[in-house]
Structure 1
Amino acid sequence: MDTLTEADGRVRSVLVAVALTVAGLLASQVTTLPAILVEPDLALDPSGVGRGLLVAFFILNFLGFAVAGAAYLAYTGLGWSFVDLRTPSLRDWKYAILGIVASFGFVIVVSVLATVADLSATDNQVVDYIGDDSTMALYLIVIAFLFNAPAEEFLWRNVIQKRLYAAFSRMGAVVVTSLVFAGVHFPVYAATAPSLDPTGLAGVLVSLLVVFGGSIVFGYVYVRTRNLVVPIVAHAGFNAIQFGFLYLTIEYAPEDLEAAMALVRLALPVG
């Protein structure tokens, strides 16, 4: 393959990755419409919305990502054989644990650096849905394993990252996927930033750095195992531990809730 053709192939692959990412985010907006039509406050002030509708909203949101990925497989004729699902081996489980540990390690490093620089991450919408409802935190643990991680890892790892293998090295595809994933979140975080002055933009960048780092970790364990179950477990385990921590804080140390919310706000990307 000559240089021009290779460059064209990479540009096309990146554009496909961007299009699929945008399609996933737009699809999630469409799939959540039934819940929002039933309760408009889901889009305005979710603090007073009942748990049943909140659970439905989250499930429908993640369903949109899965729909976008499935539509691409159907459109391209790749089919479900393209999906790397198999029972994890002992080695796979080790990488899943590595993914959880590495994700937390990255968040801690970013948190420390942000504190030293006197910066704070932009608000995360997930904490608004939880509020001080400990039971909702438990529901989100279940949702993380059954809907959140499977849908996001299916689209961004098994569809987008794997599609990029045709034009990039394995780790190159991980980096490109992560850049695209973080990039499309810029307007979401910018919209919730208190201001877009240098301090506000720095907070947005802190949030995007966490999104980018998490994607790098989950992408790496997928490269090493070629098994979608592994990044799903790592992703879900990472989120579940955060929600579990939040549950314990609400139940047994409510005076520390603000600090706990700050950790979850930093670590969980906006969907």
Structure 2
Amino acid sequence: MSAAASTPDRRARLGALCVVVALAVTGLLAGTLVQLVVTSILRAFAPPDALRLAVAQSGFALALAFTALGYVVVTRRPLTYFDVRLDKRGALWAGGGLLAMFGVLAATGVLAGALGVGNATHGTVAAIRETPWLGLLLVPVSLLFVGPGEELLMRNVVQKRLYSAFSRRGALFVASVVFTLVHLPAYATPGAGALALGVTLARLCCVALVLGVVYERTDSVVAAALAHGGYDAVQFGALFVASV
């Protein structure tokens, strides 16, 4: 009886996992396509490299948001499916999550240094080192586009969809792994060693877990987006200051 009862559960989990992986891949492909199109169009106007890259990054984030919207429309869910709300408790969780992510960043950095392991460099970080003003432009882009776009898809759609097949903690973990794997192409740059890449992805997964907890505890995508956008914005701002 228990084995028979568990079969639908396994099927539900497999089905949910297939759906969220398809959504994540769709978002990644859509974002990449938008970046390519935007970059091609902007080159005709010869804008500064920093502006061109920042607009392309915004386009990528918007593609993720529209992927999330497409899922809601196709599955005939109401727009209220998006947990666009923020109260004092949510704001506190956003702030706490932001601090926790920097705690993870510091702790994993110390650990990696002690082990003599380097870090894989995100393609955007490399671009900022070549074009410092991009770092400054990515501060508002992170807060207005990247944080909201990624969290709408990865938390409000992927993690929330998994709630129906997994426990909330299980959904949080699976969504964090999917989030991490989606970022693999950005870190798998030429020269990135396997060990350094593994350490970097492990750190990213820990950061994703923090964002997942913020969303799970608040049911507010705004709280998660603020934490995510703030985390990226501070790092990009620091890179700009260090590069000029």
Deviation of 1:129 after TM superposition, in Å, equals: 2.3
The corresponding residue for 1:185 is: 183
Deviation of 1:146 after TM superposition, in Å, equals: 0.7
Task: Note the residue ranges of structure 1 that are not aligned, 5 or more in a row.
Answer: 41-47, 252-271
Distance between the aligned counterparts of 1:81 and 1:171, measured in 2? 23
Q: Deviations over 1:15-49 (max 9, x none)?
A: 11111110110010111122232467xxxxxxx95
Q: Provide TM-score, normalisation by structure 2.
A: 0.91
Q: Deviations over 1:198-249 (max 9, x none)?
A: xx21111111112211110011011111111101111111112112222332
The corresponding residue for 2:96 is: 98
Q: Does 1:84 align with 2:87?
A: no
1:21 paired residue among 21, 24, 29 = 24
Distance between the aligned counterparts of 1:63 and 1:216, measured in 2? 23
The corresponding residue for 2:157 is: 159
The residue identity in structure 2 corresponding to 1:102 is A
Q: Deviations over 1:181-214 (max 9, x none)?
A: 2223345533x1526xxxx211111111122111
Distance between the aligned counterparts of 1:34 and 1:194, measured in 2? 27
The corresponding residue for 1:72 is: 71
Distance between the aligned counterparts of 1:119 and 1:49, measured in 2? 36
Q: Does 1:131 align with 2:129?
A: yes
Deviation of 1:134 after TM superposition, in Å, equals: 4.3
How many residue pairs are counted as aligned between the two chains?
238
Report sequence identity in percent: 33
Q: Is the 1:218–1:235 contact (alpha carbons within 8 Å) kept by the matching residues of 2?
A: yes
1:201 paired residue among 179, 194, 197 = 194
Distance between the aligned counterparts of 1:216 and 1:124, measured in 2? 19
Distance between the aligned counterparts of 1:9 and 1:96, measured in 2? 31
The corresponding residue for 2:60 is: 61
1:171 paired residue among 158, 166, 169 = 169
Q: Provide TM-score, normalisation by structure 1.
A: 0.82
**Structure 1, 98-107 or 133-142: larger mean CA deviation:** 133-142
Residues 180/131 of structure 1: CA separation in 2 closer, same or farther (3 Å cut):
same
Deviation of 1:180 after TM superposition, in Å, equals: 1.5
The residue identity in structure 2 corresponding to 1:239 is D
SS at match of 1:91: helix
Distance between the aligned counterparts of 1:189 and 1:93, measured in 2? 30
The corresponding residue for 1:147 is: 145
**Structure 1, 152-161 or 242-251: larger mean CA deviation:** 242-251
The corresponding residue for 1:262 is: none
Q: Is the 2:187–2:197 contact (alpha carbons within 8 Å) kept by the matching residues of 1?
A: yes
Deviation of 1:133 after TM superposition, in Å, equals: 4.4
Distance between the aligned counterparts of 1:91 and 1:225, measured in 2? 8
**Structure 1, 49-58 or 120-129: larger mean CA deviation:** 49-58
The corresponding residue for 1:5 is: 8
**Structure 1, 111-120 or 27-36: larger mean CA deviation:** 27-36
